[in-house]
Amino acid sequence: MLDSEVAEIERLADGKGFTLAAFKVGDWNADLSPWEAPPVFGSEGFAGGAEATLKYVTEQLIPELTGTGDAQIFIGGYSLAGFFALWAVYQMDLFSGAAAASPSVWFPGWIDYAEKNSVKAGRVYLSLGDREEKTKNPVMRTVGDNIRRQYELLQEDPGCKRSRLEMNQGNHFKEPDIRTAKGFVWLLKEN
């Protein structure tokens, strides 16, 4: 993250207390995908292990960090982790908001799922690089249309009070830390 984003997060959280926790997963394709899906690139498919990861987050990680205190909790991530965060706010109302930076909304079946379900978080931040949809991979090329459709769905969703879609310059790999931090800054400002 850039020092300016960190300073902005600290300024917004001043006097309120703030904890930022990150955790590592063993296998992104297995641990962050909500259901099984065939490979989109390479030979490794998606195992659909997101429920187990969400259970870890909600039953172990969050209680360890918050104890019995009443904490406002935001979830977020980049790429498939951003997609996991977006999926998580469709699952439960524990989270006050999600920062989904360059989320993998190209994931097979995602838009159908989002059209049939409602988020349970009041705020959702989405971002995408303006060159991410310019790829030869036909599945990943859908990311631009899908992120715009996701944003429309959030604006219509009674469970989502505020949403934002921010387009950034560059491809998927440009400044992931800064783009993720911008999502958390937006969530804190909208708090």
pLDDT digits (tens, 9 = 90+) for 121-141: 999 999 999 999 999 999 999
Q: Judge whether 148 and 165 are in contact, CB under 8 Å.
A: yes
Say what the pLDDT of residue 42 is: 87
Say what the pLDDT of residue 65 is: 86
73-102 pLDDT, tens per residue? 999 999 999 999 999 999 999 999 999 999
Say what the pLDDT of residue 21 is: 85
CA distance 132 to 172: 5
Say what the pLDDT of residue 14 is: 63
Q: Which parts of the chain have pLDDT scores under 50?
A: 1
pTM to 2 decimal places:
0.91
Give me the numbers of helices (H) and strands (E) for the chain, helices first please: 8, 6
Say what the pLDDT of residue 19 is: 74
Domain 3-189 -> CATH class: alpha beta
Say what the pLDDT of residue 107 is: 97
